[in-house]
């Protein structure tokens, strides 16, 4: 999310001009994968059966499912505010950034939600981007533990494809690495800060790396003994709400699966769509939903119809929330598009980490 506002000098990070063509090829490859996944789902779809299933939907569970699916956004905002302490950041500002991130990732391919919301919060609060991203890394470590527990406990005994098992092992390994790195930074932050603080690197890249490292250490310093247990507990609560919302949709669609089977379906879909790809993960989401339902004996045609309906019910309210958040945002839609298209290449000078600027300035 680069910027083009007057007086904002862009700082080019080591990327090279060949990065943009590579990004185009990557977008093309992910679009082809998403199109193939969606084509597989549509090939099994019977439109008349879908229309009949929609006409038989019980609508009151849909309302509860939408509410339960979006409550975790509020919980996530309060957890993020907790992780950003001692900075005083209003949860409403974080919720606002969350919904704009959802909107951007739901419209643009390969647009990570975390990158968008992280830079928005950094700009609005004056906090360094590295400090904000450190808090997000702690978030994801906790979410990864919750997801690994969910998938590991619910798919036991199921004949899942090998690549899903490999993805779960990769997730567990990634969580372990992030946890070990975070533990090392937390235990050694004073020694590392004493080593970095007196250094005077030359060049913008060196100064940026020093400030970013100090911000990461500030984030590690803020981690207490109870931080991860609190974050993991909240992550488990958010996962539980997502499982119940999925079960309510299955019930409304007259697919009679148990709560444990709904939990396994949530885990399979989440693991299958972890990597940013097509906008809102359209294609892979439906594909892994059909795959998960097939493990429980649901016919492919019926599973394909449910995947489309569930995707719309889960996605449209969140995107509408993003539209509302953008409407009240000081950034315009054109500004957001420019930022999204230029984020891999440059970072604004006024967004470089400021190690000691931690408190939220008064709201405009």
For residue 124, being part of any structural domain is answered with: yes
For residue 358, being part of any structural domain is answered with: no
Predicted pLDDT of residue 332: 53
Give the 3-state secondary structure of residue 56.
coil
Give the 3-state secondary structure of residue 129.
helix
For residue 78, being part of any structural domain is answered with: yes
Quick check: 178 and 144 in contact, CB under 8 A? yes
Predicted pLDDT of residue 74: 94
Predicted pLDDT of residue 105: 82
Tokens 């360094």 identify what position?
Answer: 128
Quick check: 355 and 214 in contact, CB under 8 A? yes
For residue 199, being part of any structural domain is answered with: yes
Predicted pLDDT of residue 31: 79
Q: How many residues does the chain have?
A: 364
For residue 364, being part of any structural domain is answered with: no
**Structure tokens given for 337:** 């598009």
For residue 95, being part of any structural domain is answered with: yes
Predicted pLDDT of residue 226: 78
Contacts of 182 (CB under 8 A, 6+ apart): 137, 138, 141, 220, 223
Tokens 């406990």 identify what position?
Answer: 153
Question: What's the domain range around 51?
Answer: 10-351
Predicted pLDDT of residue 360: 42
Helix 129-154 to helix 162-196 angle, to the nearest 10 degrees? 150
**Count: domains in the chain:** 1
For residue 21, being part of any structural domain is answered with: yes
**Structure tokens given for 280:** 């809102």
Predicted pLDDT of residue 314: 93
Predicted pLDDT of residue 317: 92
Predicted pLDDT of residue 65: 95
Predicted pLDDT of residue 243: 95
Quick check: 43 and 308 in contact, CB under 8 A? no
Return the half-sphere exposure (C-beta side, CA atoms, 13 A cut-off) of residue 330. Answer: 8
Predicted pLDDT of residue 364: 42
For residue 1, being part of any structural domain is answered with: no
Contacts of 279 (CB under 8 A, 6+ apart): 105, 106, 107, 108, 109, 111
CA pair distance 133, 122, nearest whole angstrom? 9
- Torsions phi, psi for 346 (to 5 deg): -145, 160
Contacts of 164 (CB under 8 A, 6+ apart): 155, 268, 271, 272
Q: Which residues of the chain have pLDDT under 70?
A: 1-23, 110-111, 157, 160-161, 163-165, 182-183, 185-187, 189, 218-222, 276-277, 329-364
């Amino acid at each position: 999310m680069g910027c083009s506002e007057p007086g904002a000098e862009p700082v080019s990070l080591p990327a090279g001009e060949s990065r943009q063509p590579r990004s185009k090829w990557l977008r093309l490859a992910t679009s082809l994968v998403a199109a193939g996944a969606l084509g597989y789902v549509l090939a099994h779809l019977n439109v008349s059966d879908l229309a009949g299933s929609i006409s038989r939907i019980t609508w009151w569970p849909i309302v509860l499912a939408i509410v339960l699916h979006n409550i975790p956004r509020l919980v996530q905002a309060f957890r993020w505010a907790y992780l950003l302490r001692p900075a005083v950041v209003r949860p409403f500002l974080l919720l606002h950034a969350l919904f704009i991130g959802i909107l951007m990732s739901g419209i643009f391919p390969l647009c990570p939600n975390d990158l968008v919301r992280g830079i928005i919060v950094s700009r609005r609060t004056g906090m360094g981007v590295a400090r904000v991203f450190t808090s997000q890394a702690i978030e994801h470590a906790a979410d990864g533990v919750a997801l690994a527990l969910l998938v590991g406990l619910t798919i036991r005994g199921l004949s899942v494809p090998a690549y899903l098992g490999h993805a779960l092992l990769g997730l567990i390994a990634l969580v372990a690495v992030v946890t070990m790195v975070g533990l090392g930074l937390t235990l050694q932050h004073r020694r590392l800060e004493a080593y970095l603080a007196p250094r005077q690197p030359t060049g913008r890249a060196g100064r940026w790396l020093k400030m970013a490292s100090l911000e990461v250490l500030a984030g590690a310093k803020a981690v207490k003994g109870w931080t991860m247990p609190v974050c993991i507990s909240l992550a488990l609560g958010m996962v539980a709400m997502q499982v119940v919302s999925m079960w309510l949709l299955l019930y409304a669609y007259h697919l009679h699966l148990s709560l444990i089977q709904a939990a396994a379906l949530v885990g399979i879909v989440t693991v299958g769509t972890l990597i940013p790809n097509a906008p809102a993960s359209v294609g892979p989401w439906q594909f892994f939903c059909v795959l998960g339902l097939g493990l429980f004996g649901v016919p492919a045609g019926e599973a394909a119809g449910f995947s489309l309906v569930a995707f719309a019910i889960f996605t449209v309210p969140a995107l509408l929330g993003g539209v509302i958040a953008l409407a009240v945002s000081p950034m315009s839609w054109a500004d957001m598009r420019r930022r999204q298209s230029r984020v891999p290449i440059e970072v604004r000078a006024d967004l470089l980490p400021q190690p000691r600027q931690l408190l939220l300035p008064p709201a405009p």
